[in-house]
Chains A and B, each alone.
Chain A
Amino acid sequence: MRESIKDKVAIIGTGCTKFAERWDADVEDLIKEAVDEALEDAGVEIKDIQAGWVGTGRGSQQVPMGPPGAHIASAALQTQYIPFTRVDNLCCGGQEAVRGAALGIASRCYDLVLAIGVEKLKDTGYGGLGEAYPGKWEPIYGALGTPPGRYALAATAYFSKYGFSQEEGKRMLAEISVKSHYYGKRNPKAHLKREITVEEAVNAPMICWPLGLYDCCGVTDGASAAVLVPSSEAKAYRDDYVNIKAFSIATGPGFLKEDERYDFTYWRETQEGAKAAYEEAGIKDPRKELSLVELHDCFSIAELIATESMFLCEPGKYREEFTEKRAYYHDGEMPVNVSGGLKSFGHPIGASGAREIEECVRQLQGRVKEPSRQIANFELGLAHNQGGHPGRFVSGIAILGRP
């Protein structure tokens, strides 16, 4: 019979590089930097690690040859012939690394493992993420379907469905970005550390109508890492370890944007993933029970819709319930992305999931480096990623809490 992963696996150490355009570091340097911190935090040495999972979409290569093997991690860390596996699930790569490690622990095949998420995007010579390698439907159907192009479809649809004028809609999204930059400023490792105003966001250069510059996350290099052990053995490492309460991966069947019923104002995969994760964690009222949601905000509209799709808000009521009430600030009713989010902290694709988990862990432990964004009475944190594009997503959700 199937068993839940709840309270079986503990995180005893986390690490994260400075997220930035890291001209000073290649992909292996980033891995070493994040893992060094995680090992030190856990109080273990690399030679103690029994197995590792590294989540990355591209490693350091934005070329059609595709991503590298797990050697980027074993070579970076000079592990000696232990199993290392590269995992990839688009923007859920970091989540998958932690999940792979957690399943390794839950199976009791290992009792000290490493999860890494990493991406080196900025050595290519161009902005953006490159193009998909020719495959099913690529690159004719969906040609020039860039990430902002595809997410902006949802912004237009949301404005249209709920009757927001272009200006109202843009202001609502701008408020989200102002919040992201507010926390980016207060996070030493964040990529974008400048606070912005609503006016700046609304009047910023257009990237993909209706999304402007401040509605879009940047292209960032970075890595994040976690050390995992069985919960039953975690006390031997530290008292304030954190337990995994739930893990869900919901892979959509695709073809939603081709489905006449889909209106682009909700993320179906995130809805399904959230339901599964809440059930596993035993959460009945997520808005009341969750202390923090770190969600996938590659674009401002992505944060809005993910918030609604995780049932933190009635569909179409985001402005009323979040923007106007400032509910998503760290001292608000439902804090969201108080790390700065993908938007301001940065989004090195495969690193983001592990990075969000790190934020939840450090919040739980009361060890947020900048105390002004520490959430009081922290109980449960949720980390969410979405890979793909509206209509063809995979959603990854981890819920973390005390033992």
Chain B
Amino acid sequence: MAGIISYGAYIPLYRLSREILVQVWGGKGKGEKAVASADEDSLTLGVEAARDCLKGFDKSKVDALYFATTTAPYKEKQSASIMAAACDLREEIRTVDITDSMRSATIALTMAMDAVKSGSARTALVVAADTRLAPPDTEYESLFGDGAAAFLIGNDDVVVEIESSSFITLPFVDYWRLENDKIIRWWEERFCREEGYVPYMTKAIEDAIDKANVTVADIAKAVIYSPDKRMQGDIVKRFKFDPKAQVQDLMFDNIGHTGCALVPMALVAALENAKAGDKILAATWGDGADAFVFKVTDKISKMADRRGIKGYLKSKVALPTYGKYMHFRDLMEWEHDLFMERRMALAEIWRYRNFYFRFYGVKCTECGHIMLPHPNFCIYCQADEKFFEQVPMADAKGKLVTYSMDVRSRAIDPPNVLAVVTFDGGGRFFSQMTDRDPDNIKVGMEMEVTFRRIHDALGIHNYFWKCRPVRGD
């Protein structure tokens, strides 16, 4: 029977304390929110969650990728195709971005289930990520955070079965962005709650519970989407969920509202504490409502090595100022740059796409050394490249050989740290170091690689790998 066979999540390293927002704007606020780094976007967040999810799974069996986001880096040009390459999926798969709705992720999950059930995909990957922005000095600015989650759907060793689902689609407008909007707009909250969220979430949940033949008391955890901090309370009361025992924390206090990734991330958090037999309800609002009743199987014990929500929550760095936050999220018009315009060469990236997107090195079969990027001859024994074989390096870990910190760099988040890493299994990577604390870099420290938006040039987002200190497992 088809179901979720793996899951993963990602939370960016940086957190903005709401105290900083209170200092800048006044008002109240507690906790902190996760903020994507200057070199992250929804696509790269999604790649991280997908890689967490795929750990230990056969990537060659993934036949479809569904990427849910409302903040795709391109308007025309799919994100999922880049994500598929960065996750080292096969080329012979189908991919799609499912966008524009807070329900993009749950719809993507349903589409993936349908594909696996129908037999058109052996396994299908569902990834949700968002990096929504709200106007400064609003409740939503304080609320919104960045993050991602991923699920692998398949038939074998199912960890989470889907007992029931219900869907309602409505032409309801409450939150939206126009073509060129960077920040969200919204309609009066009372109207949204009374005419939309409360009645239709109620209907979807009732329907899903009925179809699954369970009662509210049977639900171990309820993951209930909320557009803001308050609305969820109405649903909790209406169904008499025990707020402490039954209602899954949406993690607004430590991550923030992560858009269409909110319910997927909260679901992963619920699964991290679940035991076999648990029933989990998940309900999402946006252009209507949907609800699912999930059942956790005994295979849940195999998911322990994921970093997931727990792992990524633990490893964090506080953003020191609101100014840094503005730089990270590009919230202002900045100083005119007299420096020469950055160029790029798409053809070169295409020629070496295995290196740039999949992070493949080459291994010389004559002497056994691994090299990246790909030279024409072995740099160790001068054998011709015809003796090379491709080797995936994205999961390799290594040690920092040396580094420097360029304070005057054009990087959005200086100092730009240049780093040289030698991987434990061989191979040397000269790279930029991201997600680092400049006061705590040491030669010899453990490093791993991460897929990032390197820079924009000629209107194109350029993605590539950087190294970073290993984040807490």
Contacts and interface: CB of A to CB of B under 8 A. Distances in A.
Interface of A: 62-64, 124-126, 128, 130-131, 133-146, 148-157, 160, 205-211, 253-255, 257-260, 263-264, 391
Contacts of A391: 430
On chain B, which size bracket covers the interface?
A: 35 or more
Contact of A144 (B355, B369, B375, B410): B410
A135 B375 CA distance: 14
B428 A259 contact: yes
A209 B464 contact: no
A332 B406 CA distance: 34
A263 B430 CA distance: 12
A139 B406 contact: no
Contact of B402 (A128, A139, A205, A264): A264
A143 B463 CA distance: 11
Contact of B379 (A153, A253, A264): A253
B415 interface: yes
B340 A62 contact: yes
Nearest to B458: A134
B407 A138 contact: no
B342 interface: yes
Given A156-B402, A157-B402, A207-B407, 16 more contacts: A63-B340, A126-B338, A128-B408, A138-B345, A139-B455, A143-B454, A143-B464, A148-B404, A150-B418, A153-B404, A156-B403, A210-B404, A257-B428, A257-B430, A258-B372, A264-B402
B375 A255 contact: yes
A142 B430 contact: yes
Interface in B398-417: 401-411, 415-416
B409 to A, nearest CB: 5
A378 to B, nearest CB: 37
10 contacts: A64-B340, A131-B343, A140-B344, A141-B356, A143-B462, A148-B404, A148-B406, A154-B402, A206-B405, A207-B407
A155 B402 CA distance: 9
Contacts of A133: 343
Contacts of B339: 126, 128, 130-131
Contact of B409 (A134, A142, A144, A153): A144
B70 to A, nearest CB: 27
Contact of A139 (B379, B420, B432, B457): B457
Nearest to B409: A144
Contact of B405 (A136, A154, A209, A254): A209
B373 A137 contact: yes
A264 B422 CA distance: 13
A152 B371 CA distance: 23
B396 interface: no
B349 interface: yes
B85 to A, nearest CB: 14
Interface in B342-366: 342-345, 348-349, 352, 355-356
A126 B408 CA distance: 12
Nearest to B361: A258
A93 B438 CA distance: 37
B343 A134 contact: yes
B415 A209 contact: yes
Interface in B415-437: 415-416, 418, 420, 422, 426-430, 432
B380 A141 contact: no
Contact of A155 (B338, B344, B404, B429): B404
B433 to A, nearest CB: 11
Nearest to B374: A137
A135 B345 contact: yes
A137 B355 CA distance: 10
Nearest to A136: B348
Contacts of A136: 348
A155 B418 CA distance: 13
A126 B339 CA distance: 6
A157 B356 contact: no
Contacts of A211: 404
A134 B345 contact: yes
B348 A134 contact: yes
Contacts of B429: 258
Contact of A209 (B401, B404, B430): B404
B462 A208 contact: no
What are the 6 closest A-B residue pairs judged by CB atoms, nearest first? A152-B404, A134-B345, A209-B405, A157-B402, A125-B338, A149-B406
B392 to A, nearest CB: 17
Contacts of B438: 209
Given A126-B339, A255-B379, A260 B369 contact: yes
B443 interface: yes
B179 to A, nearest CB: 29
A383 B351 CA distance: 41
B418 A145 contact: yes
B323 to A, nearest CB: 19
A171 B454 CA distance: 35
Contacts of B454: 140, 143
A356 B369 CA distance: 41
A208 B375 CA distance: 29
Contacts of A264: 401-402, 420
Given A153-B420, A157-B401, A264-B401, A146 B443 contact: no
Contacts of A254: 375
A207 B454 CA distance: 22
A149 B418 contact: yes
Contacts of A131: 339-340, 342-343
Given A136-B348, A140-B349, A145-B418, A260 B409 contact: no
A150 B420 CA distance: 10
A137 B372 CA distance: 11
Contacts of B405: 152, 206, 208-209
Contacts of A130: 339-340
A304 to B, nearest CB: 15
A141 B340 contact: no
Contact of B407 (A63, A209, A257): A209
A315 to B, nearest CB: 16
Contacts of B371: 255, 258
- Most chain B beta carbons < 10 A, residue from A128, A140, A263: A140
Given A134-B343, A258-B372, A206 B407 contact: yes
A133 to B, nearest CB: 6
Contacts of A263: 401-402
Contacts of B406: 144, 146, 148-149, 152, 207-209
A207 B402 contact: no
Nearest to B462: A140
B343 to A, nearest CB: 5
B280 to A, nearest CB: 42
Nearest to A62: B340
A258 B428 contact: yes
A294 B162 CA distance: 75
Contacts of B379: 253, 255, 258-259
A208 B401 contact: no
A264 B401 CA distance: 9
B472 to A, nearest CB: 25
Nearest to A143: B454
B422 A141 contact: no
Contacts of A152: 404-406, 418
B397 to A, nearest CB: 15
Contact of B428 (A137, A149, A260): A260
Nearest to B457: A139
Contacts of B380: 259
A231 to B, nearest CB: 39
A137 B348 contact: yes
A260 B344 contact: no
Contacts of B415: 208-209
A263 B422 CA distance: 11
A232 to B, nearest CB: 42
